Amino acid sequence: MPMILDERSSYTLLANNGCHWRAISDSVMGGVSSAYLSPEEVCGRACIRLTGGVSLENNGGFVQASLDLSEEGFLDASTFVGIEIDVYGNNETYNLHLRTDDTKIVWQSYRASFKAKQHWQKIRLSFDSFIPHRIDVPLDKSQLRRLGVVAIGRMMQADICISRLALY
């Protein structure tokens, strides 16, 4: 049985898990990318919509919709296979980034990529498909802290909607 983290029952930035979605961009590190996050309705479904421009200027290159996975600090997902996310996009490739208790530095994460097509689709990413980025420790599913839907690494216009997020 899936564990619902957010299914957009709120028309605010508050997720079902009690945490708030946040927009983050490379501007926190001197970049000039812009990120905007808003609750919307797209093709009849309530969603969180991340839009913005990814710029590589000033060593930048990302925009992100970020969600803490638990109000208690971490989420034990050791009994689950992966993450299920319903998205509507602009035919661009996005990443799903996971942070754990082991990711101490901001550029460390576990990453998996997916293409967000221009229709609602359910994407399933198994925990085995997440690749460590700038960290040599395997993904610890029992210590998940944060998830990010990220446009990263190349100039692009981000436009992705998330209507449901769950562990499966």
Q: Where are the domains of the chain?
A: 3-167
Residues 6+ apart with CB under 8 A from 146: 66, 67, 68, 69, 98, 99
pLDDT value at residue 59: 84
Residue found under tokens 């708030």: 20
- C-alpha–C-alpha distance, residues 40 and 11, integer Å: 7
Residue type, 167: L
The vertex-107 CA angle with 39 and 18, nearest 5°, equals 35
Rg over alpha carbons for the chain, rounded to the nearest Å, is 15
Task: Please give the chain's pLDDT, 168 residues, in tens.
Answer: 999 999 999 899 999 999 999 999 998 788 999 999 999 999 999 999 999 999 999 988 999 999 999 999 999 999 999 999 999 999 999 999 999 999 999 899 999 999 999 999 999 999 999 999 999 999 999 999 999 999 999 999 999 999 999 999
pLDDT value at residue 60: 84
pLDDT in tens, 64-74: 999 999 999 99
Helix, coil or strand: residue 57:
helix
pLDDT value at residue 28: 78
Instruction: Write down the architecture of domain 3-167 according to CATH.
Output: Sandwich (2.60)
